[in-house]
Amino acid sequence: MSTSLSGKVAVITGASSGIGLAVANELHSHGMKLVLNSRSEARLAPLESEVGATVLAGDVTSPDLPKTLLDLALSTYGQCDVVLNNAGLIEVGPIESIDIDKVCAMVRTNVEAAYRVAYTFMRHFVDRGEGHLLNTSSVLGTKVRPTAGAYAGTKYAIEALSEALRMEVAGTGVAVTCIEPGLVRTALHRDWPVQPSEALNVPNPLTPEDIARSVSFVLNQPAHVRIPRIMILPGEQQI
């Protein structure tokens, strides 16, 4: 498929599974060139041939990784047009049993690392005069539910940063969008004793491909259009 995205370059973190992988496949179908990152070298390696991507395994919490990914895109393709700031963790639980160390690790990934990615790429986009930052937030970046406050807090942080960045670059060729999925069936919940679809009574959760189509919709808008946030929910989710 050839679209207005053809030939553009996207960097995606958290790209080896779930939403990141689905977006990689979607953008590849639109003719985009990709730089993909995740912690799993084994899952990343096949994407070199499957979607013609340049891949780099590494932990997104490493302070140097965002700049390394940007430099890799520039040295390989000569440009960087889009970054999907997608790597993330989820830790939920009641007060008496939630693992505080895992909560803090989640904050390092969902907030600290995401902020490093956002600012690193936004500085490049501002210097260049164009580019698009997409931050993977959540419906829980707009509201909360019991036992999920810590996770929601990390996504509220992403929402606040995104809105401030959007305001800073208003009137330029740089765009900022929050992607706000509801319940998505991914490996993020693979170790949960009760799957969220059962706990929340959502028998037909979203698929990663549903989110990927929303991403390409956002990126395919005319240059004068901005979509600061896009929320995608399963029809049964009442949150």
Alpha helices (H) in the chain, listed in sequence order: 18-29, 41-44, 47-50, 65-77, 100-107, 114-128, 149-168, 196-199, 208-219
Cα atoms found within 13 Å of the Cα of residue 97, Cβ hemisphere only: 4
Cβ-based neighbour number of residue 1 at 10 Å: 10
Token pair of 103 as six digits: 């909560």
Owner of token pair 């985009």: 32
Q: Is the dihedral of CA 68, 44, 209, 107 positive or negative?
A: negative
Q: Which residue has the tokens 């047009």?
A: 81
Task: Give catalytic status of residue 119 as yes or no.
Answer: no
Give CA–CA dist 126/128, Å, rounded. 5
Helix (H, G, I), strand (E, B) or coil at 173: strand
Q: Is the dihedral of CA 186, 189, 198, 139 positive or negative?
A: negative
Tokens for 225, please give them.
Answer: 């259009």
- Is the dihedral angle over the CA atoms 54, 58, 61, 66 positive or is it negative? negative
Which one of 77, 115, 119, 151 is the catalytic residue? 151
Instruction: Enumerate the active-site residues.
Output: 151
